[in-house]
Amino acid sequence: MKQVKEMNKKELLDHMFALVSEVQHLYTMLQPHDTGHIHTTIGMLNSRIDDIKDCLAFENYKKDTENDPDKDTVLKVRINLHNK
């Protein structure tokens, strides 16, 4: 499987929707006790979904600032934040 940084927009969206679907399914498996591992998995998958949303927002940001004279400075900051 490709890394998120290597995916195009369609692949990112498909991957994100698959993760969202999985999280929805995991919520149906929760019980009052003994499902801490499911809570942990939901938290991790939600973190991955947020990462993908950030990548998509970053791609849109790059497109929106193509003709901006300050884009290089702002883009460097965004890239540094994105790669943490």
Q: What is the tens place of the pLDDT at every residue in 22-70?
A: 999 999 999 999 999 999 999 999 999 999 998 888 776 566 556 655 5
CA distance 9 to 19: 15
Helix or strand holding residue 50 (H, E): helix 36-64
Q: pTM of the full predicted structure?
A: 0.71
Residue 56 and residue 62 in contact, taking contact as beta carbons nearer than 8 Å: no
Neighbouring CB atoms inside 10 A of 52's CB total 19
CA distance 8 to 76: 21
CA distance 62 to 39: 35
